[in-house]
């Protein structure tokens, strides 16, 4: 008897993304508003994210960390992390929790 494995859980994938901290701010990239979209297609996951600036020196590290975190979610077979620049990130995208962690900045 063949059984179909359930695909990855969106909540678990988003939590995996949120587990990645921006090395400069020390905040979750989710709290910084850097995760724009998560798409699940079967066992494949695509994460659309941005950075605070296109010239971010930690871009490869952050993309790699998101890829590694999402790949650990049960049911995930493939991960694609796409950097997008539209809309451009602004400080207003930081969550209320992120603002609190930054000391209300």
Say which DSSP state 74 is in. T
The residues with which 38 forms a beta bridge, in sequence order, are 47
The three-state secondary structure class of 82 is: strand
pTM summary value: 0.89
Q: Sorting pLDDT into bands at 50, 70 and 90, what band is 22?
A: very high
pLDDT band for 101, please (50, 70, 90 cuts): confident
From 7, 10, 18, 8, select the one nearest 69 (Cα to Cα): 18
């Amino acid at each position: 008897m063949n059984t179909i494995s359930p695909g990855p859980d969106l909540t678990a994938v988003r939590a995996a993304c949120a587990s990645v901290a921006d090395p400069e701010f020390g905040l979750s990239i989710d709290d910084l508003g850097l995760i724009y979209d998560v798409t699940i297609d079967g066992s494949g996951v695509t994460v659309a994210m941005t950075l605070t600036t296109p010239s971010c020196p930690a871009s490869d590290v952050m993309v790699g960390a998101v890829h590694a975190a999402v790949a650990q979610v049960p049911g995930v077979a493939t991960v694609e992390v796409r950097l997008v620049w539209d809309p451009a990130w602004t400080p207003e995208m930081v969550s209320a929790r992120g603002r609190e962690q930054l000391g209300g900045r």
